[in-house]
A and B are shown apart, each in its own frame.
Chain A
Amino acid sequence: MQWLRDILDKVAPLFEKNGKLEILHPLYEATDTILFSTDEKTESGPHIRDNIDIKRVMILVVVSLVPCYIFGALNIGYQESLTFGLSSDWKTNLISGLLKIGPILAVTFATGAFWEVLFAVIRKHSISEGFLVTCALIPLTLPATIPLWQVAVGTSFGIVIGKEIFGGVGMNIFNPALTTRAFLYFTYPAQISGDKVWAIAPDGYSGATALSIPAGQLDANAVTLLNNASINTVFDFSWFNMFMGWVPGSIGETNKIIIIFSALFLIFTGITSWRIMIGSVIGLVFTALLTNLLSPYSSNAMLTIPPHYHLVMGSFLFGTVFMATEPVTSSHTELGKWYYGFFIGMLTVIIRSINPAYPEGIMLAILLMNAFAPLIDYFVVKSNIKKRMTRYAQ
């Protein structure tokens, strides 16, 4: 590796102050620090109190996303062969899936890098690798059928409005990847909601997600509806199959096993907070049980979804593991993380059940709790201070 170090050191003066390429200093520094460890200390959030720096953290998160991409590709190919009635092996599935994901990924990274470099140059700070994680997350939250130009518009919105406007990495209120998705969701609803977009299919084919099957239905049991759909359509909405992820959905969210393993990996490497994850699962199960209890008093079919179905339907696990735990936008206090997680799980079920226009609630739940995270922290800190005051007063 010494030759690489030598090259970098050789060109370094060009990018230093008064060098010819001074304006591109952020680019040089990014290349340097991605390749080689640095001795600089972190100066602003997110603070990881460990011997690894932000860059290493970001890279580990990206690594944990790779299996999601691979399974996503497999599933895209599989759903396509289902709807077209073709038989295909995993290799062709993988290749056709990668051909769909590849361009989306490329567009996301190109757009993300463009804005990041632009703002780094204008604001004269170093390029932050945060955008790598954001850009790696964005495609996983989208349907494979999304037009590429919409990906570019959405990513621009997520990076500029979601992050740069607030001052860049560590300053944002809302998760930029989810901001991107929320923007696309409300801006181009025809391409990211409804039942046409979740599987690549012949014209006029309906590829509903598991959650949109009971959405808006009256006087019916959600599980029965899902079983009926398994019989009447080419898709299989049994619990186990949804757990295994062979159902229509966004690219990265369908396989729950992979997400659980990624979660364990992230927890054991100490990167993300297990409190938030456990808290939101508790919130989801608790609220789902509550809606089950209330379901006899209402005709809404969404209220009859049992908790273990809620867990495997839609993007709840994906959102909880990769989005809710983002260190900048979640609660920072340990107790606060429990509350923050719990409310995400609770709001997810409430949005899913109550409003038939939004069969999936995790995106809005996380964004909403992003806004409340500082408030939760405030109360936790305040109650701690109060407790100590009373302790010392005695």
Chain B
Amino acid sequence: MRSNSYTLIFTSLITIFFGFLLSVAATSLKPRQDINIEIDMKKNILGALGIEPKNSGKWSIDEVQKVYKENIVGIVLDKDGYETDKDPKNIDADKDMNFFPIYIHKTNDNINGYVIPISGKGLWSTLYGYFAIEPDCETAKGITFYKHGETPGLGGEVEKKWFQDNFKGKKFIDGNNTLVGIQVVKGSVDKSSKEAYRQVDGISGATITSKGLEVFLKEDLAKYQAYFNLNKEAIG
């Protein structure tokens, strides 16, 4: 049996040694990890806008940085739709109810579109994604989901191209400039219907996921209406 002081000294030494090891690992790897998170977010934003990597393969880190820098400006809006001096990096888009990040797609001062983060409950899980909007502030340009836990083949179809392409060109604003949201219908859209301008084909067997998506998309769009209205006035 060893003495208590030996045990104490031994454990202290071990703790100090491994603690040191851990902090070295954490601090030396931190910059790379931050870049990864940033690149991942930027890739998703570019994806929502339908911007593909040049050589149709995978994004390289440099390419993402370059394309993003040339095309995207991230700003934070307050509740009334005015720009603030905050950095979108510091805003938790899923929780913050006062400040809303928005990413503007700009080439040579021409606005080509907007991207907003969206998230909400599906059937089994919270879905996270980005929603891209045309410069007219009322037409959908694209949608992507980067994280969800829905049933593959049913709710999981939200990450498929056919479903996401569905949204392109659909409007979430009606003739009276009221936010009506985009409706996910059961089955396919009846083209002759008056409502067809704001409807997309649903996923068969995934009513709840579709309904959830419909609801949280509208809620998230509502946060940005003040800003979009200001924009529309400015354009005239």
Contact = CB atoms under 8 A, between A and B. Distances in A.
- A–B contact with Cβ pairs below 8 Å: the answer is yes
B187 A206 contact: yes
Contact of A195 (B153, B186, B188): B186
Interface in B176-231: 186-188, 204-205, 207-208, 211
Contacts of B153: 189-190
B87 to A, nearest CB: 40
A356 B208 contact: yes
A193 interface: yes
Interface in A156-202: 189-190, 193-196
B135 to A, nearest CB: 34
B196 to A, nearest CB: 15
B151 interface: yes
A137 to B, nearest CB: 24
Contacts of B207: 215-216, 356
A204 interface: yes
A204 B187 contact: yes
Contacts of B187: 204, 206
B25 to A, nearest CB: 42
B93 interface: no
Interface in A192-243: 193-196, 204, 206, 215-216
Nearest to B154: A189
A204 to B, nearest CB: 6
Contacts of A189: 151, 153-154, 205
A204 B208 CA distance: 19
Interface size class of B (residues with CB under 8 A): 10 to 19
B153 to A, nearest CB: 6
B188 A193 contact: no
Nearest to B207: A216
Nearest to A215: B207
Contacts of B151: 189, 357
Residue from B123, B153, B207 having most chain A Cβ neighbours under 10 A: B207
A206 B186 contact: yes
Interface of A (DSSP majority class): loop
B211 to A, nearest CB: 7
A357 to B, nearest CB: 6
Interface in B71-106: none
Interface in B93-141: 123
Contacts of A206: 186-187
Residue from B151, B186, B204 having most chain A Cβ neighbours under 10 A: B204
Contacts of B188: 204
Nearest to B155: A357
Contacts of B208: 216, 356-357
A194 B204 contact: yes
Nearest to B157: A190
A195 B207 CA distance: 10
A216 B186 CA distance: 12
Contact of A190 (B186, B205, B211): B205
Nearest to A357: B123
Nearest to A194: B205
A357 B125 CA distance: 13
Contacts of B186: 195, 206
A189 B150 CA distance: 13
A153 to B, nearest CB: 16
Interface in B19-46: none
A9 to B, nearest CB: 55
A356 B211 CA distance: 12
B197 to A, nearest CB: 20
B204 A216 contact: no
14 contacts: A189-B151, A189-B154, A193-B205, A194-B154, A195-B204, A204-B187, A204-B188, A206-B186, A215-B207, A216-B207, A216-B208, A216-B211, A356-B207, A357-B151
Given A194-B205, A216-B211, 10 more contacts: A189-B205, A190-B153, A190-B205, A196-B205, A204-B187, A204-B188, A216-B208, A356-B123, A356-B207, A357-B151
Interface of B: 123, 151, 153-154, 186-188, 204-205, 207-208, 211
Interface of A: 189-190, 193-196, 204, 206, 215-216, 356-357
Q: List the 7 closest pairs (A to B, CB-CB), nearest first.
A: A194-B205, A194-B204, A216-B207, A356-B208, A193-B205, A196-B204, A216-B208
